[in-house]
Amino acid sequence: MEFIRLRGIGVSPGIAMGESFLTVPSSLAICKETIPVSQIDKEIERLKAAIQKTEKELLEIKEKIKIIAGEEQAILLEAHLLILRDRSLLSGLEKIIRQDKVKAEWALEEINRKYRGIFESINDEYFRQRQADIFDVLMRIQRNLKPETSKRRDQPSDRKVILVAHDLLPSEAASRFSRGNVIGVALDMGGPTSHTAILARSLDIPAVVGLHNITAQVRNGDFLIVDGTDGEVLINPPQAIRKEFQSKKEKYDKYRLELRKIARQPSVTLDGVAFKPLANIELPEEVSVAFSLGAEGIGLFRSEFIYLQRQSLPTEEEHFEIYSKLARRCYPRPVYIRTLDIGGEKSYSQFNLGAEPNPALGLRAIRFSLKNPEIFRLQLRAILRASGQGNVRLLFPMITEIEEILLIKELLAEVKSELRRQRVRFDENIPLGIMIEVPAAAAITEFLAKEVNFISIGTNDLIQYFLAVDRSNESVAYLYKPLHPSVLRLIKQVIDQANEAGREVGVCGEMAADPLSALILLGFGLRIFSMNPIFIPRIKKALRSVELKTVKEAAEEILKLKTSQDIEEYFIERVISRHPQAFLTTQLT
Ligand code: PEP
Ligand code: MG
């Protein structure tokens, strides 16, 4: 048997070794078949029956997932049920069948093509991944249009397997993982923010995606190694390599245990200074994973995803459902809900944003919300209604000037008095905060801080705007330097001014997740670090292994240096000489 080594994207860390099981490709690929007018009603009935069956299946999978992975993970299936029950889906399909006189299969194909077109125009990996949910539901209906006999052969239940597939639809992943014998996943397609990836992470199933054509290279029963940490898959490796990976697996399993241990340890430096690791999430089902990794709250809930899961604008009730679930799940820990951050690279159909000559500098985030007060008001009402328990905070993105805060406050006061009139309970003192992402706002932090309760520095955007470097443009990536002396000076100034104003200040950009940057930020006086939850253990470990005194002194010195390279070298050397453990944390995650 030939030994093949493939590189992909590791989306769920850890190593799995075992037998492969290939699932059949998920594809709608079918031909257009027309039907006579007399058969149209019958065809629609056939479609309705398949939709009903799909609903029953999804409800069953949801119950199973609830048992093995918990309530949060089952929400994925709820999202699918919402798509399935959306009346516009059935009416859209019906319309195609009637107008084009085609079979239901073709109508599904047409609808899929329509959505694909919409989602592909969105230049954001996370949102594009949401198309997978719609595709998933359509696939399921498609399958249920077929007679029982032509359905897929199933995975063995008597032994552990590594799933190999072209693409694993989220509900299919949920259904297969729920059987308890999937130990690894390898896919041709996929990205790190897909539901399948999130589910694999939360169940500790190592997964590698984006392998392009692994399905063409693996046969059922091949021996596979899936290295979800380094993003590699090995097909039929020789004994020596199996042994090497066996010891890597043991090391990793030990490391994972240590991470879980760190998650439970107090967040304090060697000299007892407390800091707070928080999590950035996009889906409510990520809450429990975040807490299991040591998050002490949700520091950034990106509310955009709520809009993306629907074809029309979400209603106040839909917003409320999600926020109140979040608040309940987090209680008593805080959850910082960020209002809609649309525009820029995150645009999509419901809003008819129109093409802007320079979207990054255009109508995005709070600018959009203030221009569309009905949409903004509805979101504020829903967030306030979910705030009754007192652990919700309101965070506004992309603030540029003080006038915006005043407008927000006016609107908020109106919404509050409306709620009071309607005798709806909410947190009268809900804390308000702004994101510092625009350099102009950073420069006047002392004024802005006085208007709000807390400051959250969005370093991803702040760096892009300050250095004039598009954060997603590879040709200028070499200039995107979080440790550029100008960036560090600016961030230090923001932290100082917020602290002087007596306001809580945190960082919720990627910088908070990088051990070197996080140690520098700690030295600058930062205590709140919000990040993708998978990075929390390593940051906790780094921060727990230093004394504040050391990093503070080193952080003061680097402000005198001229290049990011000098800064990096000096800081690492200075900290390591006192705390050799400080940078030993980054090897595995
Ligand atoms: C940021 O800009 O740093 C941030 C956290 O916001 P987002 O990445 O969602 O733009
Ligand atoms: Mg941002």
What DSSP line would sit under 75-114, residue for residue? Answer: HHHHHHHHHHH-HHHHHHHHHHHHHHTB-HHHHHHHHHHH
Is residue 403 in some structural domain? Answer: no
Q: In angstroms, rounded to a whole number, what is the distance separating the alpha carbons of residues 79 and 278?
A: 25
Task: Verify that 101 and 170 share a domain, yes or no.
Answer: no
Is residue 304 in some structural domain? Answer: no
Provide the domain limits for residue 233. Answer: 4-24+155-240
Region 441-465: mean pLDDT is: 97
Region 423-448: mean pLDDT is: 98
Task: Verify that 476 and 524 share a domain, yes or no.
Answer: yes
Using the predicted structure, report yes or no on whether residue 449 has a pLDDT greater than 90.
yes
The CATH code of the domain that includes 132 is: 1.10.274.10
Instruction: Report the separation in Å between the CA atom of 345 and the middle of ligand 1, taken as the mean of its atom positions.
Output: 11
Task: Verify that 172 and 202 share a domain, yes or no.
Answer: yes
Is residue 63 in some structural domain? Answer: yes
Q: Is 228 helix (H, G, I), strand (E, B) or coil?
A: coil
- Is the N-terminal amide bond of 332 cis, ω within 30° of 0? yes
Atom 10 in ligand 1: residue holding the nearest Cα? 461
The CATH code of the domain that includes 205 is: 3.50.30.10
Is residue 116 in some structural domain? Answer: yes
Is residue 255 in some structural domain? Answer: yes
Told to judge if 31 belongs to the known catalytic residues of this protein, a careful annotator would answer: no
Instruction: Report the separation in Å between the CA atom of 418 and the middle of ligand 2, taken as the mean of its atom positions.
Output: 31
Region 168-185: mean pLDDT is: 83
41-76 as b/e: b if 16+ CB within 10 A: eebbebbeebbeebbebbeebbebbbeebbebbbbb
Q: Which of 22-36, 247-261, 438-452, 525-539 shows the lowest mean pLDDT across its residues?
A: 22-36
Task: Verify that 125 and 74 share a domain, yes or no.
Answer: yes
User: Which residues neighbour ligand 2 (ion) by CB within 5 Å?
Assistant: 437, 458, 461
Q: Is 564 helix (H, G, I), strand (E, B) or coil?
A: helix
Q: Where are the alpha helices (DSSP H) in 29-86?
A: 40-69, 71-85
Q: Which is catalytic among the residues 195, 319, 484, 579?
A: 195
302 in contact with ligand 1, CB cutoff 6 A: yes
Q: In angstroms, rounded to a whole number, what is the distance separating the alpha carbons of residues 278 and 297?
A: 5
Q: In angstroms, rounded to a whole number, what is the distance separating the alpha carbons of residues 460 and 365?
A: 14
Q: What pLDDT shows up at residue 426?
A: 98
Which of 115, 150, 185 is the last residue before a domain boundary? Answer: 150
Percent of the chain with pLDDT over 70: 91
Q: Which is catalytic among the residues 80, 166, 319, 508?
A: 508
Question: Tokens 């030994």 appear where?
Answer: 3
Choose between 36 and 123: higher pLDDT: 36
Judge whether 38 and 236 are in contact, CB under 8 Å.
no
Q: In angstroms, rounded to a whole number, what is the distance separating the alpha carbons of residues 523 and 452?
A: 24
Single-letter code of the amino acid located at 227: D
Atom 8 in ligand 1: residue holding the nearest Cα? 460
Region 308-312: mean pLDDT is: 67
Task: Verify that 492 and 578 share a domain, yes or no.
Answer: yes
124 in contact with ligand 1, CB cutoff 6 A: no
Task: Verify that 138 and 220 share a domain, yes or no.
Answer: no
Closest by alpha carbon to 555, among 581, 516, 589, 585? 516
> What is the rounded average pLDDT for all residues in the chain?
89
Q: Measuring CA to CA, how many Å separate 20 from each of 224, 236, 575?
A: 6, 10, 46
List Cβ<8 Å contacts ≥24 apart for 412-418. Answer: 412/380, 414/377, 415/377, 415/380, 415/381, 415/384, 416/384, 418/381
Task: Verify that 481 and 584 share a domain, yes or no.
Answer: yes
Atom 4 in ligand 1: residue holding the nearest Cα? 458
Q: What pLDDT shows up at residue 51?
A: 93
Task: Verify that 473 and 588 share a domain, yes or no.
Answer: yes
Told to judge if 195 belongs to the known catalytic residues of this protein, a careful annotator would answer: yes
351-368 as b/e: b if 16+ CB within 10 A: bebeeeeebeebbbbbbb
72 in contact with ligand 1, CB cutoff 6 A: no
Is residue 57 in some structural domain? Answer: yes
Closest by alpha carbon to 174, among 107, 80, 293? 80
Choose between 289 and 311: higher pLDDT: 289
Task: Verify that 52 and 163 share a domain, yes or no.
Answer: no
Q: What pLDDT shows up at residue 300?
A: 97
What is the atom index within ligand 1 of the atom nearest the CA of 464? 2
Task: Verify that 182 and 231 share a domain, yes or no.
Answer: yes
Which of 150, 175, 199 is the last residue before a domain boundary? Answer: 150
Alpha-carbon torsion, ordered 351, 356, 362, 368, to 10 deg: -10
Q: What pLDDT shows up at residue 588?
A: 44
Instruction: Report the separation in Å between the CA atom of 462 and the middle of ligand 2, taken as the mean of its atom positions.
Output: 8
Using the predicted structure, report yes or no on whether residue 455 has a pLDDT greater than 60.
yes
Task: Verify that 146 and 204 share a domain, yes or no.
Answer: no
Is residue 344 in some structural domain? Answer: no
What is the atom index within ligand 1 of the atom nearest the CA of 346? 10
461 in contact with ligand 1, CB cutoff 6 A: yes
Q: What pLDDT shows up at residue 296?
A: 98
Is residue 130 in some structural domain? Answer: yes
404 in contact with ligand 1, CB cutoff 6 A: no
509 in contact with ligand 1, CB cutoff 6 A: yes
Which of 116, 150, 184 is the last residue before a domain boundary? Answer: 150
Q: What pLDDT shows up at residue 549?
A: 97
Q: How many domains does the chain have?
A: 3
Q: How far apart are the first and last CA of the chain?
A: 32
Encoded tokens for 518: 């996080």
**Hey, which residues does 163 pair with through a beta bridge?**
21, 185
Using the predicted structure, report yes or no on whether residue 110 has a pLDDT greater than 90.
no
What is the atom index within ligand 1 of the atom nearest the CA of 462? 2
Region 44-54: mean pLDDT is: 92
Q: What are phi and psi of 490, to 5 degrees?
A: -65, -45
Closest by alpha carbon to 196, among 171, 213, 216, 221? 171
249 in contact with ligand 1, CB cutoff 6 A: no
Q: Where are the alpha helices (DSSP H) in 101-205?
A: 104-120, 125-129, 131-145, 170-177, 195-202
Angle at 34 between CA 28 and CA 35, to 5 degrees: 120
Percent of the chain with pLDDT over 90: 61
The per-residue pLDDT for range 506-539, each reduced to its tens digit, is 999 989 999 999 999 999 999 999 998 888 998 9
Task: Verify that 468 and 585 share a domain, yes or no.
Answer: yes
